[in-house]
A and B are shown apart, each in its own frame.
Chain A
Amino acid sequence: MALSPETLEMLRREPDADDLDLSWLENLTGKEGMRAVPGRRGLTIDEINQGSYGEIPEVTTNRTGRIRGATHRPDSPRYSNLWAEKNASWSAAAGLLYEEAVARQWSSAVDVPWAELPEIGEDLELAMSQLMTFLTQVEFIAGDVPGQYAANISPEFMEVGLFLATQIMDEARHLDVFRKRALANGVGLLQAGNGAIGLMQSQDFTEMTATLHLVGEGFVQSLFRMGEMFAQTEVDKKMFRLAAQDESRHVAFGVMHMKHVLEQEPERREEIHSYLDRQEGLLGQGSTQAGLTGGGPTGESMAILLGGGKDEIRLEEGYRKLSAIRKRQITEYMNRLEVVGLGDRRQRMAPQMRAVLEASMTNGNGHKNGSH
């Protein structure tokens, strides 16, 4: 839609109009005259991305802050930090996941029934508080990490930038809700660990997606989805259900980004495997995701919660269930990798992971114990 010559002429003749700049009205690049109509889920990004406004370029020449579809100004400044290539960050689900995130926001203050939180016994409450300490520690790292790439996302690929903002909001709520849970029932925060800072070392968006979205968040999402197993109260169950829903979006973003990259740039396959090698623990450095065994404050607290106490019999049962959870985490992780086109990861996974997976299968400690 551009202003008709007749209307322009009328404007020029208006009293007081001699200093008006009307040239832009003749030079707008968007010509469609858009009239987007809300769909079943409201006026979503997909509904607005009609015609040229929905065309996502493979490589953009837009190096300024211009919103996709706006008319370029020749004197606007460039940003060398903006990535020109779609492949660098694109995830086909970004717009959808953004809308989903907005629609499914929740409040840790009122959507968790805190007033109904019962006393659960000292051992169980201590264990829950320890698990909450771990989650409080690591959750916002998953906000800091994507945030460090936000300034690289060109407005031409704005859906990615918008999605990252929702992830950061979600992670804030997770830090908040887990912190509140630790402080809600008389114990408070307990022993901190050495954290998840290693995730901040990524040097590339796809590396970040591999290590954060696929490995880190994937494992956490599986854990939250099995929250019913270690939750002691309805409050805890609700909290894990809501958090799992958020993590699912983060994992979905990562899956779709990785799928896009592997389809468009298959030559990056080994590079991506190398990120997974590192994050799974194949490089033998320090402790990594492959440390899927049973000890440590988090493992102990989970075993207590899963077994229902810390006497020897309950703990053994707790560890058996924990082993089943670990198996499930690895299985779901491998399934996701298959979806993105990395099915061969099953043959290349870290031996520690394979040990957990095969042991569970051999022993049948998972399903047979009724832990799923």
Chain B
Amino acid sequence: MADEQKTAEASAEGVVVDTSELGSVRETERAQGDPLFDPTNLQVPPLDFRWSRVPTERPPRPKIGPEGFLLRQADYGSYGWAPDHWPYENDTPRGSFPARDRGLPAPYTIYDKYQVWAENSADLYEQAVRERWSAANDIRWGTLEPLSETRELALDQIYTWVSEQAYNSSQWIMRWLKEISYGYHEVKLYLATQTFDHARHTEVFRKRALANGGNLGVETPGFLNRTVAASFKFTELVVYINIIRSTILLGLMETIQGLDLAQADRQIAELTARDLRRHISYGSEHLRYFLQMHPEKRSEVENWLLRGEVMVAADFGRDGALRTAMILALGDTVTEGKEKRRQMLRLMMKRYLEALTAGTVYRRVEKMAPELSELGEETERHEAEATAAAP
């Protein structure tokens, strides 16, 4: 933040006005020992104003509607056009007139639109801002009532699992921001909202686990967490977090919303589900765009999906605590809990397959990791039966 300010304002320290082209409004010659602008003898420094004549687009004044002044509305004409390849290595804003001296090239590594783009990024950003909520104040914590110790500890185990995953997602999306060049600002803005959502999920589920007489449970086996951390590509990260993890968690949240629990529990699940739907929407749209622009990379997507599925299956397979907690939380008896857990797993799978379909990945069950394929087939069968039975 400081560096540009300095340069812009340092020009008075020894300004050479370049009149050769508009791209160089001015350059600073900063030879050691040059006299600094001396504020004790205030003189208006050599003036330029060429910045006011650069040939950028003049946008029309927006008509402000009930939803306010939206990013999509602001990014009019050339301002809204994100090129397939972003040519500037620094933080030049899209639509501005680039400086000839652009300073230090940034460490960004993503300059191609297909690697990050989703057409709905700007809209999801605004939606996320509109749908923001506070764990401290928007949850009716006072509605929590003591549960049986079995059910409370079972819920706390599930909430510990969600909190840990949310922290992992938040960490790694934040980490990837420095890879994404400035030209795709809608994506960076959207991802900022997603990492903020994950932060809120981290704390709200931790708070809930500690708010009703229980305590935190056991950590996860961590296979998916580790896979997220080890992502080599941004789209790979999106597959793990926005497609695989988010659909699993959405299935869980939708299930919790249907349980006979306190209003606080249901509110948390409802608000989290709303956030997750945005995450999935970005993930599906990014996947669609990625595959549309590079259909030859479909096998990469299939590989990421397979890897993620295997890791999820490993987590579920090893996490005896989570399995038991789900059974105890969902049913009044173990038998009922097992049946309801199976229903929930089918819902998770359904949401996963829907997200993939939206992302133009079809017939995934045929290629699914063997550990999950039975659940995939079962889910498709149930859906077909439900469709057939519908009036």
Contact, CB under 8 Å: A168 / B174: yes
26 A–B contact pairs at CB < 8 A?
A3-B149, A16-B335, A20-B327, A34-B211, A36-B210, A42-B135, A67-B164, A73-B219, A130-B52, A140-B91, A140-B189, A169-B192, A179-B71, A183-B75, A186-B60, A190-B54, A191-B54, A193-B7, A194-B104, A197-B91, A288-B3, A293-B45, A319-B45, A326-B39, A358-B40, A360-B39
| Chain B proximity of A355: nearest CB distance (Å) | 6
CB–CB A71/B216 < 8 A: yes
Q: Is the CB of B39 within 8 A of A22?
A: no
A267 at the interface (CB under 8 A from B): no
CB pair A158–B167 under 8 Å, yes or no, is: yes
**Digit string of B161-195 for contact with A (CB within 8 Å is 1, else 0)?**
00110011011101111100010010011001101
Given contacts A24-B324, A200-B107, A300-B48, contact A183 B59 (CB under 8 A): yes
Question: Whole-angstrom distance from the CB of B156 to the nearest CB of chain A?
Answer: 9
> Could you say which of B42, B69, B222, B226 contacts A114, with CB atoms under 8 Å apart?
B69
Chain B residues in 8 Å Cβ range of A185: 61
Tell me if A203 counts as interface (CB < 8 A to partner B).
Answer: no
Of A24, A28, A173, A295, the contact of B12 (CB 8 Å cutoff)? A295
Count of residues in A whose CB is under 8 Å from the partner chain? 161
Contacts of B4 in A (CB 8 A): 134, 137-138, 193-196, 298
Q: CA–CA, A295 to B14, complex, Å?
A: 10
B-to-A contact residues, CB < 8 Å: 1-13, 15, 25-26, 28, 30, 32, 36-40, 42, 44-52, 54, 56-62, 64, 67-71, 74-76, 79, 90-93, 95-99, 101-107, 125-126, 129-130, 132, 134-137, 139, 141-142, 149-150, 152-153, 157, 160, 163-164, 167-168, 170-172, 174-178, 182, 185, 188-189, 192-193, 195-196, 198-200, 202-203, 206-207, 209-223, 225-226, 229, 318, 320-321, 323-324, 327-328, 333-335, 338
> What's the Cα separation between A148 and B172 when bound, in Å?
9
Contact status A287-B6, CB under 8 Å: yes
Query: Which of A102, A144, A147, A363 is close to B42, meaning CB atoms less than 8 Å apart?
Result: A363
Q: A146 CA to B170 CA in the complex, in Å? A: 13
Cβ 8 A contact of B172, one of A44, A70, A151: A151
Nearest chain A CB to B158 CB, angstrom units:
12
Q: Is A76's CB within 8 Å of the partner chain B?
A: yes
- Taking the nearest CB of chain B, how far is it from the CB of A169, in angstroms? 4
**A35 contacts partner chain B, Cβ-Cβ < 8 Å:** yes
Contact A194-B90, Cβ < 8 Å, known A30-B215, A77-B226, A140-B188: yes
Instruction: With A14-B334, A175-B189, A198-B103 as known contacts, state yes or no: A75 contacts B318, CB within 8 Å.
Output: yes
The answer to whether B199 touches A289, judged by C-beta atoms less than 8 angstroms apart, is no
Are A102 and B136 also in contact (CB < 8 A) when A165-B170, A291-B9 are?
yes
- Asked if A16 and B338 make an inter-chain contact with CB atoms under 8 angstroms apart, the answer reads yes
- Count contacts between A and B, CB distance < 8 Å: 522
How far apart are the CA atoms of A330 and B234 in the complex, in Å? 40
A272 on the interface (CB 8 Å rule)?
Answer: no
B47 near A300: Cβ-Cβ < 8 Å: yes
Find the A residue at minimum CB distance from B160. Answer: A70
Residue of A nearest to B129 (CB): A107
A343 at the interface (CB under 8 A from B): no
Query: DSSP majority for the A interface?
Result: helix
Q: Which of A38, A153, A199, A220 meets B171, CB within 8 Å?
A: A153
- Bound Cα distance A219, B206 (Å): 36
Nearest residue, chain A, Cβ from B223: A77
Contacts of A172 in B (CB 8 A): 125, 188-189, 192-193
Give the contact stretch, choosing among A83-91, A278-286, A334-342.
A278-286
